[in-house]
Amino acid sequence: MDSRNFLAFSLCLLFIFPLISSVPLRFLTRLTNRDGSVIKMKTSSSSLAFDPTRVTQLSWTPRAFLYKGFLSDEECDHLIKLAKGKLEKSMVADNDSGESVESEVRTSSGMFLSKRQDDIVANVEDKLAAWTFLPEENGESMQILHYENGQKYEPHFDYFHDQANQELGGHRIATVLMYLSNVEKGGETVFPMWKGQTAQLKDDSWTECAKQGYAVKPRKGDALLFFNLHPNATTDPMSLHGSCPVVEGEKWSATRWIHVRSFERSVVKRLSGCVDENESCAKWAAAGECTKNPTYMVGSEKEHGYCRKSCKVCSS
């Protein structure tokens, strides 16, 4: 990715900053070292490396970017190991009720990890936040998916059509698909509504499904980031995407859905009295964030505060 594309990507992300929570981000604590093009960031538990030269802009319609080698082989294998033996048939959200239901449009199996389940999972979550510039708390728990021969996920949107799902964190502003294994043939991620100026050339190594739009082959360690909303927060129909059937081999992937607002906040917590909704609230309050960042910490007429107890603006 050349400097102009990377700058354009960064500016594009800046347009969505007003839409997301202003939480103090642990991955922005301090830049500790720069080695060539690699940016090393200090987190609360470790240091992680983010290399922008590995990012390629794939499309503006939808906005899609590929990070080659985002995960190491060890990270990929570890995530698969955590999922094995715990997989269940994948579900989809009903467009009317928002409830999870079985559907033949999605035939994979999967399971959800716990946030920061172990050091490796926590490190991957930190890297996701650093790359996307979106707060970690806006993300759902990672979902590990397994596709066997013939299994697929037909084209769909990751933003919601019902109000029930939007009550927790709002729309999914972005999706990151991390490929945990190589696939002998098939399993491509395809964008059927893609509109590019130059056609994507495909040979016989691509499936017929992948030839229906812009497609990305699953390669172990790579990560695909695409945005489901435009910079003005309207839904982007070009983000329609699907997982092509696996023809040979098997496919493992990890999905991270990221919302406009914090996904960790719940309506129950809002009504539960004087509480902190983040484990770091006391530390942030001691650092003066109650006055420096009052919208997030204390809240406003339109926004619910996350750290009202530590900021001593309520009584339990």
Residue that is written with structure tokens 């199996």 in the block: 109
Q: Do 251 and 277 belong to one domain? A: no
| Amino acid 147: pLDDT | 96
Q: Do 153 and 21 belong to one domain? A: yes
Q: Do 230 and 282 belong to one domain? A: no
Q: Which residue has the higher pLDDT, 90 or 23?
A: 90
- What are the tens digits of pLDDT across the range 103-140? 777 789 999 999 999 999 999 999 999 999 999 999 99
Mean pLDDT of the residues in the chain: 82
Last residue of a domain, one of 259, 280, 295: 259
Q: Do 253 and 116 belong to one domain? A: yes
Q: Name the token pair of 74.
A: 């060890």
Q: Which residue has the higher pLDDT, 147 or 101?
A: 147
Q: Which structural domain, as residue segments, surrounds residue 306? A: 265-316
For the ranges 92-101, 137-146, 155-164, 242-251, the lowest mean pLDDT is seen at 92-101
Q: Do 229 and 270 belong to one domain? A: no
Q: Do 253 and 270 belong to one domain? A: no
Sequence-ordered strand ranges (E) for 139-222: 143-147, 153-156, 172-179, 185-186, 189-191, 214-216
| Amino acid 101: pLDDT | 61
Identify the CATH number of the domain in which residue 96 sits.
2.60.120.620
Q: Do 313 and 253 belong to one domain? A: no
User: CA nearest 12: which of 53, 49, 48, 59?
Assistant: 59
Residue that is written with structure tokens 């490396």 in the block: 49
Query: Residue 47 pLDDT more than 50?
Result: yes
Q: Do 210 and 292 belong to one domain? A: no
Last residue of a domain, one of 259, 275, 293: 259
C-alpha 161/C-alpha 178 separation (Å) is 25
Average pLDDT over residues 245-257: 97
User: CA nearest 54: which of 131, 129, 142?
Assistant: 131
pLDDT category at 301 given cuts 50, 70, 90 is low
- What are the tens digits of pLDDT across the range 153-175? 999 999 987 777 777 788 999 99
Query: Residue 289 pLDDT more than 90?
Result: no
Average pLDDT over residues 230-245: 96
Contact 189, 241 (CB under 8 A): yes
Query: Residue 265 pLDDT more than 90?
Result: no
**What total number of domains does the chain contain?**
2
Q: Do 196 and 315 belong to one domain? A: no
Q: Residues near 232 by Cβ (< 8 Å), separated by ≥ 6? A: 15
Q: Do 145 and 248 belong to one domain? A: yes
Q: Do 182 and 286 belong to one domain? A: no
pLDDT category at 236 given cuts 50, 70, 90 is very high
Last residue of a domain, one of 259, 277, 308: 259
Average pLDDT over residues 74-81: 98
Q: Do 78 and 55 belong to one domain? A: yes
Average pLDDT over residues 265-273: 50
- What are the tens digits of pLDDT across the range 14-45? 444 444 343 334 433 434 455 555 656 555 44
